[in-house]
């Protein structure tokens, strides 16, 4: 199961010392922490840096600007869980992320400032097993989170509310 927890206090000084750049994710021990310290995600088998890069890659793959990072973190957590049980899978993910960083040059994938630069790298590897594995998982693990549905205006389960017969199935007014 995914554990996204409230991050224990890190001082501003510590955060700066750890080299957080802009909106970048912070690595502290095994944890990946959001810049606003609203949440943290513990990496159990993958490197914390790998987890942070997967979160960035997930947003680059399905960029929804109004969707907070924590949903992307939840969406990619399964790779960490699966890597704990499957060495070959772990290698696929670690090697794939290492390849992203290599292609990005000295700053690494997360260090590239523009989405276009990162996406250009993803386009180059989009037929790879690594990318297809991550994207194929993400299209379910991101969009199937009930908590993200309100961001898209999708209301989900309707039976318990009596359907939409009294709740706007025909309420369109602009036609």
Partner 1 sequence: MATQYQQDDDSVVVIIGSGAGGGTLGNELAQKGIDVVILEAGSRIEFEDFINDEWDAFAQLSWLDNRTTGGGWRITKDFPNLPAWIVKAVGGTTIHWAGASLRFHEHEFKALTTYGKIDGANLLDWPITLADLEPYYAKAEDKMGVTRTNDIAGLPGNNNFKVFKAGADKLGYKECHTGRMAINSAERDGRNACQQTGFCFQGCKWGAKWSTLYTEIPKGEETGKLEVRPNSHVVKIEHDVSGKVTGVVYADKDGNLHEQKARVVCVAGNSIESPRLLLNSASTMFPDGLANSSGQVGKNYMRHTTGSVYGVFEKPVHMYRGTTMAGIITDEARHDPSRGFAGGYELETLSLGLPFMAAFLDPGGWGRTFASAMDSYDHMAGMWIVGEDMPQEQNAIKLHAELKDQYGMPIPDVWFTDHANDEAMRNHAYKQGMALYEAVGATRTFPTPPYPSTHNLGTNRMSEKAEDGVVNKWGQTHDIKNLFVSDGSQFTTGAAVNPTLTIVALAIRQADYIAQEMAAGNI
Binding site for partner 1 (CB under 8 A): 60-64, 66, 115, 119, 122, 126, 135, 139-140, 142-144, 149, 152-160, 162-165, 167-172, 174-175
Q: Nearer to partner 1 by C-beta: 13 or 174?
A: 174
**CB 55 to partner 1: min, Å:** 16
What's the CA gap between 36 and 22, in Å, rounded? 11
Beta bridge partners of 33: 26, 40
**CB 7 to partner 1: min, Å:** 27
What count of residues does the chain have?
Answer: 175
Q: Nearer to partner 1 by C-beta: 85 or 127?
A: 127
**CB 124 to partner 1: min, Å:** 13
Q: Nearer to partner 1 by C-beta: 32 or 148?
A: 148
Q: Nearer to partner 1 by C-beta: 9 or 174?
A: 174
3-state helix vs strand vs coil in the chain, percent to 5: 50, 5, 40
**CB 34 to partner 1: min, Å:** 20
**CB 137 to partner 1: min, Å:** 12
Q: What is the arrangement of strands in the sheet containing 31-33, beginning at the earlier edge strand? A: 4-5, 40-42, 31-33, 26-28
Residues 6+ apart with CB under 8 A from 95: 130
What's the CA gap between 157 and 30, in Å, rounded? 37
Q: Which helix (H) or strand (E) holds 50?
A: helix 48-61
Q: Nearer to partner 1 by C-beta: 18 or 167?
A: 167
């Amino acid at each position: 199961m995914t554990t996204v927890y409230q991050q224990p206090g890190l001082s501003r000084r510590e955060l700066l010392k750890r080299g957080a750049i802009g909106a970048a994710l912070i690595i502290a021990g095994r944890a990946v922490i959001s810049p606003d310290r609203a949440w943290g995600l513990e990496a159990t088998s993958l490197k914390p840096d790998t987890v942070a890069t997967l979160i960035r890659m997930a947003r680059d793959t399905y960029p929804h600007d109004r969707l907070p990072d924590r949903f992307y973190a939840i969406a990619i957590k399964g790779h960490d869980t699966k890597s704990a049980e499957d060495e070959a899978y772990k290698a696929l993910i670690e090697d794939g992320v290492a390849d992203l960083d290599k292609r990005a040059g000295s700053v690494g994938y997360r260090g590239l400032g523009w989405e276009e630069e990162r996406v250009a790298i993803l386009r180059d590897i989009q037929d790879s097993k690594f990318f297809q594995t991550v994207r194929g998982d993400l299209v379910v693990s991101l969009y199937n989170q009930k908590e993200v549905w309100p961001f898209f205006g999708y209301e989900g389960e309707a039976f318990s509310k009596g359907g939409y017969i009294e709740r706007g199935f025909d309420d369109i007014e602009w036609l």
